[in-house]
């Protein structure tokens, strides 16, 4: 059975990247991962018994992100008076980077479940069945979440470009 240390050695960086994609902000991502991984470590035996500990942890982290009203991490983040350093880094392709940043800020306005679904499919490249498992919903729901998100994105994208 994998130990917590081995799990953290191999998966912490990937989870942190995933949290950055969910929150769009490195500080919020750190807080989200910290809160989740504290619980993971305290309940490691239960986590390790899961068929796939990684998916189990990803589900914990995703739920924590979606249920921010009930959790404490968002409150803590919002109350913390640190300057926002989440300004995206630039690229050489000035105009195209502007377009891409439009997408990034558009993502920030999405409902959390929709954003999580997009991250899981287009960043983590997971099959719909696994996304459904992580979100705890039906595969059909995953597909409708994605198509709804893409539909609004296309509308806004057209507006931005024209």
Binding site for another protein (CB under 8 A): 8, 12-13, 16-17, 20-21, 24-26, 29-30, 33-34, 37-38, 41-42, 86, 88-89, 91, 99-100, 103-104, 107, 118-119, 122-123, 150, 153-154, 157
Q: Which is nearer to another protein, 66 or 121 (CB)?
A: 121
- In the bound state with another protein, the residue whose beta carbon lies nearer, of 30 and 130, is 30
**Which CB, 86 or 141, lies closer to another protein?**
86
By CB neighbour count within 10 A (0-12 exposed, 13-18 middle, 19+ buried), where does 118 fall? buried
| 103's tokens | 């997408």
CB of 50 to another protein, least distance (A): 19
The residue among 66 and 115 lying less far from another protein, judged by its C-beta, is 115
Q: Toward another protein, which CB reaches closer, 22 or 51?
A: 22
CB 40 within 8 Å of CB 60: yes
Question: Smallest gap, in angstroms, from Cβ of residue 149 to another protein?
Answer: 9
Which residues are within 8 A (CB) of 84 and not within 5 positions of it... i.e. 6 or more apart? 25
For the CB of residue 79, give the shortest distance to another protein in the complex, in Å.
18
Buried b (16+ CB within 10 A) or exposed e, 16-45: bebbbbbbbbeebbbbbbebbbeebeeebe
To another protein, the closest distance from the beta carbon of 131 in angstroms equals: 15
Cα–chain-centroid distance for residue 63? 10
Q: Smallest Cα–Cα separation from 1: which of 31, 43, 39, 45?
A: 45
Q: How far is the CB of 29 from another protein (least distance, A)?
A: 7
């Amino acid at each position: 059975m994998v130990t917590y240390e081995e799990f953290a050695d191999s998966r912490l960086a990937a989870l942190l990247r995933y949290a950055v994609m969910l929150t769009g902000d490195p500080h919020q991502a750190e807080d989200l991962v910290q809160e989740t991984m504290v619980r993971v470590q305290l309940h490691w035996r239960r986590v390790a018994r899961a068929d796939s500990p990684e998916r189990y942890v990803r589900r914990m982290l995703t739920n924590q992100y979606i249920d921010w009203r009930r959790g404490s991490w968002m409150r803590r983040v919002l109350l913390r008076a640190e300057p926002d350093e989440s300004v995206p880094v630039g690229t050489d392709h000035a105009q195209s980077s502007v377009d891409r940043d439009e997408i990034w800020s558009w993502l920030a306005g999405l409902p959390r479940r929709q954003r999580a679904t997009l991250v899981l499919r287009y960043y983590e490249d997971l099959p719909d069945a696994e996304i459904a498992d992580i979100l705890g919903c039906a595969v059909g729901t995953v597909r409708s979440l994605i198509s709804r998100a893409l539909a609004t994105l296309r509308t806004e994208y057209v507006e931005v470009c024209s």
